[in-house]
Amino acid sequence: MNKALKWVGIGIGIIVGLIIVFVVAYVVVLGPKDTVKAHSKTALALEMIPPGTEKMVAFENINVIPMDSERLLKGHTVIIEDGRISEMGPVSAVEIPQEALTVDGHGRFLIPGLSDMHAHLLNSENDLMLYIANGVTTIRDVGGPPIRLQWRDEINAGTRPGPNLWVWSPWIREMDWFDWIKESWIYSGGVCTANTPKKAEKLVAEFKAQGYDGIKVHNGFFESLDSYRVLMSSAHKYDLSLDGHVPVLFNFSEDKTRSWNEFRELGQEAVAHVEELIKIVDWTDESIQKTAKDVADDKIWVTTTIALIQSIRKQRYNLEDELDEMQDLKYVNPGLLNQVWIPGKNHYVADPERPKEEVLEGISNYIDAMEKMCVALNEEGALLMSGTDSNVPLMVPGFSLHDELEVIVDLGISTFDALKTSTYNPALYLNKLNEFGTIEIGKQADLVLLEANPLEDITNTRLIEGVMVRGRWYTRNDLDTILDQIAEINQEVTQN
């Protein structure tokens, strides 16, 4: 008997060993490659980045769009000192100190810094400066490796340039061990599993201790909501915001009314994409409008990411053409581009086994419902935040935020409301409206100088003459230098 058990044990050991070998082989040879090395190769040396200036700055005779309400303050002077707005008023009422660097504001417009509230830096630290170059002074990274915590702390300490960075935990989802190993490799440790309530509570406690600003929940909760509920209660216990997808248990249910009501009862305070809502409810105009009202009544925060979902229709069958036409592609980290974005790696490309007409009809109907939901949410006064899911295919960090604002306006949302999703609302969500989000005396100086009025044409947010983040002023020349350096180092890595 003992001999038989011994051979059984050996057999089990061999099987386990073969499984481990198979997993390693899959990850190393067949699976998506880790992009950590490619990312690190492209990192700009900090001394290469233009330092900007932290001296006193005076924007003279500037048109101010303060974003505290829909108004334009013409012919104002705004003075920045020690990283904050120290004075602001009509030109005739504000005297510019002699020691101040004066920036001519004639015919120009000053807005609060923009925000991308759904970003993924992964290991690409150059992206921090891509955001600055695009006037994005605040980002919320909602899933990735622990290095993001170090970057955030360095930015806060003033030893690394970059936008205000808020770091949510690695993605939490329910999955088997094989998927966990695979996804942990792909996302450099940016994903973890919570298959039991005990594990869920432990994870939140650990993330709090590690210094994360919030909890990111993915949609992979299949069997029950026990762990999901514990994630939410634990986040509340540790004073952490929880944002994420809708549990897949609710997705495309036959009884959509019941699913939506059950989701509302969970009390999730924020949803990562507008599209998550249309996975639960009917797509009739009446259902969409009612859902939007429920969201507004429940004060659920919703991040937009409309441009990404719109792009999927193009990526299904025209990926190569889309990549060829992208002028901003040279700024994308080569490791990410070659392992996630291109044909053969891009998971948005259509399954060739499925009929093309069926695929296009399905995604078109999906996008149409999502767009209607976004408009309805705005009409009902829901709490919307601009976000892009940057570094997901075709979403170039920084640049994609302007795409997002433009598609929101194209849906029929006003330019002011679109800007509000990227200025006032993110600051309100982060409980930092007393610090930034509007242009007011005493607030942190996160500002973007534009050539033209974005309230008249939202594409004017791209016409950036300078960016200020926490009082550090970057001129257009500084921003061009940053972009040129990133494009050059990416090209060098690609060629080598």
**pLDDT (tens digit per residue) in 329-388:** 999 999 999 999 999 999 999 999 999 999 999 999 999 999 999 999 999 999 999 999
Question: What confidence score (pLDDT) does residue 12 get?
Answer: 55
Confidence of residue 26 (pLDDT cuts 50, 70, 90): very low
Alpha-carbon distance 61 to 105, whole Å? Answer: 5
Question: What confidence score (pLDDT) does residue 194 get?
Answer: 81
Question: What confidence score (pLDDT) does residue 47 get?
Answer: 86
Question: What confidence score (pLDDT) does residue 211 get?
Answer: 97
Q: Are 396 and 332 in contact (CB under 8 A)?
A: yes
Q: Are 164 and 213 in contact (CB under 8 A)?
A: no
Tell me the percentage of the chain whose pLDDT exceeds 70. Answer: 88
Tell me the percentage of the chain whose pLDDT exceeds 90. Answer: 77
The predicted model gives 421-426 an average pLDDT of 98
Cβ burial 268-282 (10 Å sphere, 16+ → b, else e): bbbbbbbbbbbbbbe
The amino acid sitting at 178 is F
Residue 344 gets the label, from left (phi > 0), alpha (psi -120 to 50) or beta, of left
| Helix and strand element counts for the chain (H, E) | 17, 18
Question: What confidence score (pLDDT) does residue 459 get?
Answer: 98
The predicted model gives 9-31 an average pLDDT of 46
Confidence of residue 219 (pLDDT cuts 50, 70, 90): confident
Residue 33 confidence (pLDDT) above 80: no
Alpha-carbon distance 350 to 356, whole Å? Answer: 8
Confidence of residue 180 (pLDDT cuts 50, 70, 90): very low
Question: What confidence score (pLDDT) does residue 254 get?
Answer: 83
The predicted model gives 230-236 an average pLDDT of 94
Tokens (6 digits) for 164: 């205000």
Question: What confidence score (pLDDT) does residue 251 get?
Answer: 81
- When mean pLDDT is compared across 242-251, 406-415, 470-479, the lowest value belongs to 242-251
Question: What confidence score (pLDDT) does residue 225 get?
Answer: 87
The predicted model gives 213-217 an average pLDDT of 95
Q: Which of 1-10, 39-48, 448-457 has the highest mean pLDDT?
A: 448-457
Q: Give the relative orientation of helices 226-237 and 256-266 as an angle to the nearest 10 degrees.
A: 30
Question: What confidence score (pLDDT) does residue 23 get?
Answer: 42
Q: Are 407 and 307 in contact (CB under 8 A)?
A: yes
Average pLDDT over the chain, rounded to an integer? 89
Confidence of residue 2 (pLDDT cuts 50, 70, 90): low
Residue 125 confidence (pLDDT) above 80: yes
Residue 17 confidence (pLDDT) above 80: no
Domain 112-433 matching CATH 3.30.70.890: the answer reads no
68, 164, 302 from 420: Cα distances, Å: 9, 18, 13
Question: What confidence score (pLDDT) does residue 155 get?
Answer: 97
The predicted model gives 206-223 an average pLDDT of 87
Tokens (6 digits) for 326: 């992208």
pTM (two decimals): 0.91
* Three-state secondary structure call for residue 224: coil
pLDDT tens for residues 63-100? 999 999 999 999 999 999 999 999 999 999 999 999 99
CA–chain centroid gap for 72, Å, is 29
